[in-house]
Structure 1
Amino acid sequence: MAERREKLKRFVQEEAKAIGFDACRIARAKDMPEAAAALGEFVAKGYYGQMKWMAETLERRSSPLNLWPEARSVIMLAMNYGPEEDPRPLLKQPDRANISVYARNRDYHDVIKGKLKQMAGRFAARSGADVKVFVDTAPVMEKPIAAKAGIGWQGKHTNLVSREFGSWLFLGSIFTTEELEPDRAEKDFCGSCRACLDACPTAAFPAPYKLDARRCISYLTIEHHGVIPEEFREAMGNRIYGCDDCLAACPWNKFAQSASEMKLAARDDLKAPELSMFLGFDDAAFRKFFTGSPIKRIGRNRFVRNCLIAAGNSGHGFLAGQCRVLADDESPEVRAMAVWALARLLPQAEFAALARARPRDTDEDVRREWQREEEMLCI
């Protein structure tokens, strides 16, 4: 039995490397009590915001065995997506749109899931065991399982940190009925460092190792529906999809290698795209430009909403013309954020004249934006 386990584990590791994964470790399916407790606290405090599925799938998510009772081992796999350069300097170019590093190329779900299926099929053929693959979209706690398997540890920003790849890792898992020898969990090497916590522009960490997603720019730009709460708009800067600040601040990134060899290098047109281009997108243009991209999943309206906040933060009056057009958009969330942007881009007298000339909007959120800006300008 021990010899079989050793051979199968060696097979798994060799296959993982051959197929393009940067790390492969094993965890027992039953070893997740700490993660379940942390998840329960996250849900109990309402930190999940509008992500209702977090509460709805709490029981299934809290243990691999709740998702698949027959599972005995979890093969955790990681792929490095470390950027070629620090993404933070782009924050100082307000006429440019800042897109999170992970979303600057193909949807990683598609990339990793294809590799997982290929590897799982080979493992099943070799072992005779049943297998199931998961990558992010299923109720699996990838980061705690990866930490238990020894790929890295969950840092104070709650993301996985590796001594080899820093904070830049995509994760996927293969559940199997095969009993495999588990790897040792990784130690926490964060020490007294709080670089990631201090880097957060919206104070989304109520304490080390705890995240209030409702304050996180990644959550706000991707998961949050409707108008962005006013208190976070200026802090968003030109971040139109996700936020890399806490990841990029991690000192362990100095050991991370570029992901160019994994064919996940950023598209040239997403490294520092002009904000004005995105403000002109209708639904068809949006879908065409982001074909195969994870950004496509949030839809044109939410995406343009984010771009309007970036426009309002830019200080560039030449964007006001596009914002005026979007103030008449079919989407209420787009119209509302266009009002906010216009109030910051137009001279006060010009905005006041525009506000007085406009008919009453049919949407409450949009009316509220006009009223708030008018009151602030004493119109």
Structure 2
Amino acid sequence: MTKRCQASVAVTTVVLMRSDRPTTVDNPAAEEHNSRVADGQEFVRDTAFIETRITRDGRDGYPVEPGRYRLVVARACPWANRAIIVRRLLGLEDAISMGMCGPTHGVNSWTFDLDPGGIDPVLGVPRLKDAYDRRMPGYPKGITVPAVVDIPTGAVVTNDYPHITTDFEVEWTDHHRPGAPDLYPDRLRDEIDEINRGVYTEVNNGVYRCGFAGSQQSYDEAYRRLFTKLDELSERLSTRRFLVGDTITEADIRLFTTLVRFDAVYHGHFKCNRSTLTEMPVLWAYARDLFQTPGFGDTIDFTQIKAHYYLVHRGINPTGIVPDGPDLTGWLTPHHRGRLGGRPFGDGTPPGPPKPTEVVPAQNWVPVHG
């Protein structure tokens, strides 16, 4: 059994962000297995999730209930980062607690090595795998983040990350903070879903299709598709501040978590090197606009992001050397996107500061000079 961030793969010898003990340089064999696609094969993502939903009517046996569930994430993982952002924007911190795994892992499970004693203080377990096994003993698929765990039983409810965020937005409305934005407005859902499909296949998953390509042909095709879509998105965003409508939506969150990792890891580590994000003016300004919006940039831990990719993917980076760059200070420079209009939170308001226990350490964030 192999584990990963919600970046799952269905090619026999592929493991994307898989997990168990924190990944270190003394376990290269496991990490080599965790980051290779068989020669000649294309990277294909496994999307077989635990599809149980937490809903207002509890139709799957898990009703919305504040304090009952724990969202388990890793700041390094883009798929988990979506859930972190949505939870924060909607003000669900008091309704849904959050457990944080470390950025590196081995072949069995994400681990709570950031917590004292390596034990999650709420679930009382050292590995996310334990929660999966409580739901399905000997769980045969990937131990992925994000995952929502039922605290009373200690069992995973779902790891279906596309629905985790939309359910936060639609099913948990009774527990949103006053002024919470509507991130998935009913009148725009068809357009949001359409945008999300293209962003997922070509960009969110496209960078992985480049990085884990098993042949030159599959890499070339993934590379072409990725930058074709990024050019299309640049064109779309050249005349509008956000992807859909005039406010931040689920679509912006899904694109942001890939863009914010682009120069730090995808450009070099995954060979997505036609252009850096900073060399794509529209997308760079758009990404900075979101990064500087409360709830986005304050969830980003660049140190954990780089540690995860460069230490875990030993098939791509066998030495385990984590690069010192890139320069991150540009994330705080003016973006001038306000001239396009738009209201980031619509009729709502920005979230307040993050909870003290959820603040990204200053040394892992953007260096602030002066």
Normalized against structure 2, the TM-score is what?
0.27
Normalized against structure 1, the TM-score is what?
0.27
Pick the structure with greater CA Rg: 1
